[in-house]
């Protein structure tokens, strides 16, 4: 299940081909990647009708599993699986990962460590929350991803203007600008990402990424991910425990999860949990087993019940850097000198944005210019390689 703007279609299709799996594609429009595949048209804004369309396909074509490549397909996949009778997340649990307010309330009910939060509907609400929290606050839309519309505010008098800016970003994305927003206490400390697969309600952690570039705001543009994490083993054990507790609180039972946490004074705090794999092309930084199977293969193997447990991540260190967007405007070019591609450890560089198209960094945008991948014997070397590559790349935006 791939929305039109998905980065992930090609990688999932390649994984299916490698496994010898026949696929049907559900999307808003027929993708050009595989024009001969079985196709069902869906509307990602209408999960109920889309789920029925997929169930209708299953009435004539055998379907063994449904996999959502991105957030837009998560609830549809859960609903369709329920109609067909396939193992999957309960639809309500899947939907809770797409609504940050519902997610926060579910985590709070289970007493999972997370930021203190309030739901706000007006500028007056925002100013009240600022005065009560007595410190920096992060304002978020309830239903957007990739840091779009997420802004930090430090002063009470700025709360109203920041809320209005977030509402304008929501409206520009075609969403309801008057929908309640989330305000959270800003959690200070390093951020990590956890990649896992849920087997019958139990989380198997596949990888933990450090995010070595501090994400302090006012916007939160992610840049570098490196695995394995360099955190203390005791902290990592707690990360595993808290991630499992968050998954249980949300009621997720099957499939991939991607969790974001911050470590505040040694304590993992849940920022977000998604019922999908890591975004963009970042999953290409992970390989499993002796043959280097990609993350998408792990997800498909799980969905098809091909193994009870996954293969282990390869032992070398790896990472990915998202090329930052310097300003809003029209992308003219991304200049990558030959010596960047020749850097020891750089395995590939993929430019995903097309010249001549509009681009914008967070909080206004939610797309990436491209991705740099690197491997090495240790995570410190991976990080330094990715930083060196980023330093030598020049982006031209009009």
pLDDT of residue 175: 87
Tokens 């977030």 -> residue: 166
Assess contact for 291 and 322: CB atoms under 8 A.
no
pLDDT band at 306 (very low <50, low <70, confident <90, very high): confident
Nearest residue to 91 (alpha-carbon basis) of 245, 250, 244: 250
Question: Which secondary-structure segment (H or E) carries 395?
Answer: strand 394-397
- For the domain made up of 188-314, give the CATH fold: D-amino Acid Aminotransferase; Chain A, domain 1 (3.30.470)
Query: What's the pLDDT at 183?
Result: 95
Q: Is the pLDDT of residue 33 over 70?
A: no
Q: Enumerate the domain spans of the chain.
A: 9-88, 116-185, 188-314, 316-398
Domain range 116-185, its CATH number among 3.40.50.10540, 3.40.50.720, 3.30.1490.20, 1.10.260.30:
3.30.1490.20
d(CA 87, CA 164): 42
What is the fold, at CATH topology level, of the domain defined by 9-88? Rossmann fold (3.40.50)
Helices (H) and strands (E) in the chain, counts: 11, 19
pLDDT at 291: 81
Asked if residue 263 lies in contact with residue 129, where contact means CB atoms within 8 angstroms, the answer is no
Task: Tell if the pTM clears 0.75, that is, is over it.
Answer: yes
At a CB cut-off of 8 Å and minimum separation 6, what does 229 contact? 192, 208, 209, 210, 236, 379
What is the rounded distance in angstroms from the CA atom of residue 278 to the CA atom of residue 318?
Answer: 15
pLDDT at 97 over 70: yes
Question: What's the pLDDT tens digit per position in 115-126?
Answer: 999 999 887 888
Q: What is the pLDDT of residues 167-224, one digit of tens each?
A: 999 999 888 888 999 999 999 999 999 999 999 899 999 999 999 999 998 999 999 9
Q: How many CB atoms lie within 10 A of CB 384?
A: 16
Task: Indicate left, alpha or beta for 134 from its phi (over 0: left) and psi (-120 to 50: alpha).
Answer: left
Looking at residue 311, its pLDDT comes to: 74
User: Quick check: 343 and 375 in contact, CB under 8 A?
Assistant: no
pLDDT tens-digit series, residues 40-75: 999 988 999 999 999 999 998 889 999 999 999 999
Residue with tokens 């991607």: 258
316-398: CATH, from 3.50.30.50, 3.10.129.10, 3.30.470.20, 1.10.1200.10:
3.30.470.20
- How many angstroms separate the CA atoms of 351 and 360, rounded? 15
User: At residue 279, does pLDDT exceed 70?
Assistant: yes
Which band of pLDDT confidence, cut at 50, 70 and 90, is reported for residue 37?
low
Pairing mode, if any, of strands 293-294 and 287-288? antiparallel
Asked which of 109-113, 146-150, 327-331, 372-376 is least confident by mean pLDDT, the reply is 146-150
């Amino acid at each position: 299940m791939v929305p039109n703007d998905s980065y992930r279609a090609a990688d999932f299709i390649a994984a299916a081909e490698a496994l010898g799996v026949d696929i049907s594609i559900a999307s808003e429009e027929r993708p050009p990647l595989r024009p001969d595949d079985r196709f069902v048209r869906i509307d990602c804004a209408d999960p109920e009708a889309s789920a029925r369309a997929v169930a209708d396909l299953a009435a004539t074509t055998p379907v063994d599993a449904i996999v959502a490549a991105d957030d837009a397909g998560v609830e549809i996949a859960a609903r369709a699986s329920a109609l067909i009778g396939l193992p999957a997340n309960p639809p309500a649990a899947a939907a809770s990962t797409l609504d940050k307010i519902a997610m926060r309330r579910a985590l709070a009910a289970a007493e999972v460590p997370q930021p203190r939060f309030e739901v706000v509907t007006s500028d007056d609400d925002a100013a009240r929350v600022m005065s009560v929290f007595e410190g920096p606050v992060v304002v978020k839309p309830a239903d957007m991803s990739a840091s779009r519309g997420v802004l930090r505010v430090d002063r009470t008098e700025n709360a109203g203007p920041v809320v209005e800016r977030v509402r304008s970003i929501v409206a520009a994305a075609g969403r309801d600008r008057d929908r309640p927003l989330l305000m959270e206490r800003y959690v200070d400390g390093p951020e990590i990402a956890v990649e896992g697969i849920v087997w019958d309600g139990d989380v198997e952690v596949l990888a933990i990424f450090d995010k070595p570039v501090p994400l302090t705001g006012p916007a939160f543009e992610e840049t570098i991910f490196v695995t394995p994490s360099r955190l203390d083993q005791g902290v990592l054990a707690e990360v595993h425990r808290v991630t499992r507790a968050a998954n249980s609180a949300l009621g997720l039972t099957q499939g991939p999860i991607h969790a974001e946490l911050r470590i505040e004074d040694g304590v993992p705090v849940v920022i977000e949990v998604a019922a999908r794999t890591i975004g963009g092309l970042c999953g290409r930084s992970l390989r499993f087993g002796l043959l280097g199977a990609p993350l998408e293969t792990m997800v498909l193997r799980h969905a098809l019940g091909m193994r009870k447990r996954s293969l282990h991540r390869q032992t070398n260190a790896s990472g990915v850097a998202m090329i930052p967007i310097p300003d809003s405007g029209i992308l003219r070019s991304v200049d990558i000198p030959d010596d960047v591609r020749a850097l020891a450890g750089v395995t590939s560089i993929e430019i995903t944005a097309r010249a001549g198209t509009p681009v914008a960094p967070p909080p206004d945008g939610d797309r990436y210019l491209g991705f740099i991948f690197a491997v090495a014997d240790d995570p410190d070397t991976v990080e330094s390689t990715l930083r060196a590559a980023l330093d030598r790349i020049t982006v031209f935006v009009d």
